[in-house]
Amino acid sequence: MIVLRVSAAVAALFVSSVAVVLAAGSNTLSVGADERTQEAAYCSGTGGAVQNRKPFYGTNNPNPLRLAYDKDFCKYTARDGSSISLLLSTLYTEKPTLAALAYYSAQPCTTCGGGGNPASFYCSQLGGTDLFGGVNAAGGGRVVNTPNGPDVLEACIFPNLSSIDSFGLFYRSANIIRGIDLKNVLRYHGPPKKST
pTM over 0.85: no
CB-count burial class (<10 Å; 0-12, 13-18, 19+) for 43: buried
Instruction: Return d(Cα 95, Cα 170) in angstroms, integer.
Output: 23
CA 106 to chain centre: 17
Quote the mean pLDDT of the chain: 83
Q: Hey, is 1 helix, strand or coil?
A: coil
Q: Which residues constitute the domain of residue 56?
A: 52-184
Grade residue 31 by pLDDT with cuts at 50, 70 and 90.
low
Region of 159 on the Ramachandran plot (φ > 0 left; ψ -120 to 50 alpha; else beta): alpha
What is the amino acid identity at position 109? C
Residue 32 per-residue DSSP state:
-
Grade residue 147 by pLDDT with cuts at 50, 70 and 90.
confident
* 192 in any annotated domain: no
Which of 28-32, 43-47, 160-164, 180-184 is predicted least confidently? 28-32
* 164 in any annotated domain: yes
pLDDT beyond 50 at 107: yes
User: Alpha carbon of 121 to those of 98, 108, 127, 167: distances in Å?
Assistant: 16, 12, 10, 10
pLDDT beyond 80 at 141: yes
Which of 50-54, 63-67, 177-181 is predicted least confidently? 63-67
In this structure, are residues 61 and 138 in contact, taking their beta carbons and an 8 Å threshold?
yes
Instruction: Return d(Cα 115, Cα 127) in angstroms, integer.
Output: 20
What is the amino acid identity at position 78? A
- How many domains does the chain divide into? 1
pLDDT beyond 60 at 6: no
Q: Could you tell me which residue, 117 or 70, shows the higher pLDDT?
A: 70
* 35 in any annotated domain: no
Instruction: Return d(Cα 54, Cα 49) in angstroms, integer.
Output: 16
* 73 in any annotated domain: yes
Grade residue 19 by pLDDT with cuts at 50, 70 and 90.
very low
Q: Could you tell me which residue, 110 or 68, shows the higher pLDDT?
A: 68
* 31 in any annotated domain: no
Share of the chain above pLDDT 90, in %: 60
| pLDDT mean over 78-82 | 96
Grade residue 30 by pLDDT with cuts at 50, 70 and 90.
low
Q: Could you tell me which residue, 194 or 1, shows the higher pLDDT?
A: 194
Q: Output the pLDDT for position 192.
A: 82
Q: Output the pLDDT for position 189.
A: 93
Q: Quick one: which of 39, 62, 85, 27 has its CA closest to 150?
A: 62
Q: What is the biggest distance separating any 2 CA atoms in the chain, rounded to whole angstroms?
A: 74
